[in-house]
């Protein structure tokens, strides 16, 4: 018995060395969720090909239909892993980029590539490869000066400092207790993805739930065709398909609501955290609910969300009182004709 125990321990240590992710309980849980999600996709799709004779016949006659469906399934799973493995944009990484650029500007002012755009958002064009080539120390004073310009005058530094990791947070950032890091434009921590949704991967997250919604809708249609064709003779098989269809419809309703909710957030340039915890955020207190302080208009919000090259470390300044008053001003006929909302 003792020998068997030693053998099992040695085998576990060897597996931990070969697969480091299995040694960490948190990472093991994340991979368990990912495997479970992939298995759910395989089960829902596999049942169709096992029980639907019409689908198999249609695959032989028109293979392109099944090829498109399976290709879309693979693309959705690839998007899932791509999103789950992407960085949401951590504040500590933005500090490194900002401090490196400050150091570079001291060494050679002509190499400075940092600007404040029209909406007072800090933009860094330095990529991650350049960041890895040099390892400059963090200069807290330069980072503090950078963040001070983003907050309204007279704000207290105590309100900006994270009580967990003791770093100065720019506006719209928040500490994630699951990741144990502060995230730029923190939206929420997605359990199924195993990562935070923030400025760096919010767009990828939207595309993932969009693809998942289309795949789920397509699969629901195939399940309805299977039940309406009366091909299944055994009652227990038909009951199993009905249960799977009910689960699919529940998932589809959830995905569509989630997609609509995040589409609204994108159009108004908000995050889930800002919408839900608005009264707890100091610089958003006192702002009317109908006013979206960081919105630049629907078209500009969409462009920045989908096509902006600012990078995952761009930071937005808190709007001034004049800008907030302009956004709170009621719409007139001239505003509608000039597309003020866009």
For residue 315, with 0-12 CB atoms within 10 Å meaning exposed, 13-18 middle and 19 or more buried, which class applies? buried
CA–CA distance, 299 with 297 (Å, rounded to integer): 6
121-to-11, 151, 269, 292, 314 alpha-carbon distances in Å: 53, 11, 14, 16, 6
DSSP conformational letter for 168:
B
176, 182, 190, 216: the catalytic one is 190
Active site residue 190: yes
116-to-102, 149, 293, 310 alpha-carbon distances in Å: 14, 10, 18, 11
CA–CA distance, 216 with 210 (Å, rounded to integer): 10
Give the HSE-up count for residue 233: Cα atoms under 13 Å, Cβ half-sphere.
Answer: 1
CA–CA distance, 49 with 54 (Å, rounded to integer): 9
Residues taking part in catalysis = 190
């Amino acid at each position: 018995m003792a020998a068997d125990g030693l053998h099992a321990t040695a085998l576990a240590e060897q597996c931990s060395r070969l697969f480091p992710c299995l040694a960490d309980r948190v990472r093991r849980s994340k991979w368990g969720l990912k495997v479970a999600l992939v298995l759910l996709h395989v089960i829902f799709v596999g049942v169709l090909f096992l029980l639907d004779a019409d689908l198999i016949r249609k695959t032989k006659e028109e293979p392109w239909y099944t090829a498109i469906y399976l290709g879309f399934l693979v693309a959705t799973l690839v998007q899932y892993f791509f999103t789950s493995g992407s960085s949401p944009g951590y504040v500590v990484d933005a500090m490194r980029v900002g401090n490196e650029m400050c150091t570079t500007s001291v060494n050679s002012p002509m190499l400075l590539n940092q600007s404040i755009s029209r909406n007072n958002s800090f933009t860094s064009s330095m990529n991650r490869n350049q960041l890895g080539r040099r390892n400059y120390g963090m200069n807290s004073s330069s980072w503090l000066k950078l963040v001070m310009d983003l907050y309204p005058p007279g704000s207290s530094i105590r309100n900006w400092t994270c009580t967990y990791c003791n770093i100065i947070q720019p506006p719209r950032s928040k500490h994630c207790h699951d990741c144990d890091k502060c995230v730029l434009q923190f939206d929420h921590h997605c359990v199924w993805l195993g990562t935070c949704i923030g400025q760096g991967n919010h767009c990828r997250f939207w595309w993932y739930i969009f693809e998942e919604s289309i795949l789920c809708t397509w699969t629901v249609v195939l399940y309805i065709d299977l039940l309406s064709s009366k091909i299944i003779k055994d009652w227990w098989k038909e009951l199993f398909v009905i249960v799977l269809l009910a689960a699919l419809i529940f998932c589809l309703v959830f995905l569509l609501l989630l997609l609509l909710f995040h589409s609204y957030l994108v159009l108004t340039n908000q995050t889930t955290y800002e919408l839900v915890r608005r009264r707890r955020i100091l610089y958003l207190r006192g702002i009317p609910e109908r006013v979206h302080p960081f919105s630049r208009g629907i078209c500009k919000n969409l462009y920045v969300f989908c096509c902006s090259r600012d990078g995952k470390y761009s930071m937005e300044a808190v709007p001034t009182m004049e800008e907030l008053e302009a956004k709170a001003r009621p719409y007139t006929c001239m505003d509608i004709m000039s597309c003020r909302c866009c």
